[in-house]
Amino acid sequence: MTVHYDMAINAEGWQNEETLRRLVDSVLQATLQELGFDKIDSELSLVFTNDADIREINGKWRHIDKPTNVLSFPAFALQPGQEPGEILGDIVIARETVAREAAEEHKSFDDHLSHLVVHGLLHLMGYDHQNDEEAEQMETLERKILASLGISDPYL
């Protein structure tokens, strides 16, 4: 399984690129394994930014004038379980929101960041949480993927 990704660190305070790549590599492997995609060849873009930038992006694309933890922009609309094509899409994550949520939820920054990368990847692969059934399906996958990484249930 191969997912090539570009990474941009566009804000102060993030870990160094090598540390972020190790985290992303493990999350990618666990996610693709759980979804049963062992022979895909796709591309992904990850942007590690700050609250100000993600607020601007959230306002422009979702018409919500506030920062959020993660935004996903799929390159193509997929149904859950559908094998992705050559390009997955983009994931944007805001450091301050990740840090604030991790502290509020008594989680490590890296565990919460891992959860948000999983969450973003699942959105790119057609999963959503617009209704209770979709949310349960997505959260179940998140729990399984994170457990395989030794990370406790993020919804407890």
* Cβ within 8 Å of residue 29, ≥6 positions away: 1
Using pLDDT thresholds of 50, 70 and 90, give the confidence band for residue 2.
confident
Ligand-binding annotation for 123, yes or no, is yes
pLDDT of residue 40 exceeding 90: no
pLDDT of residue 64 exceeding 80: yes
Residue at 105 is within a domain: yes
Residue at 156 is within a domain: no
pLDDT of residue 124 exceeding 70: yes
Indicate which CATH number applies to the domain containing 59: 3.40.390.30
Residue at 153 is within a domain: no
Residue at 155 is within a domain: no
* Cβ within 8 Å of residue 37, ≥6 positions away: 1, 83, 84
- Mean predicted lDDT score pLDDT of the chain: 96
8 A C-beta contact, residue 2 and residue 41: yes
* E strand map for 80-129: 87-94
Ligand-binding annotation for 112, yes or no, is no
Ligand-binding annotation for 129, yes or no, is yes
The range of the structural domain enclosing residue 144 comes to 2-148
Tally Cβ neighbours within 10 Å of residue 25.
Answer: 12
The pLDDT of residue 31:
96
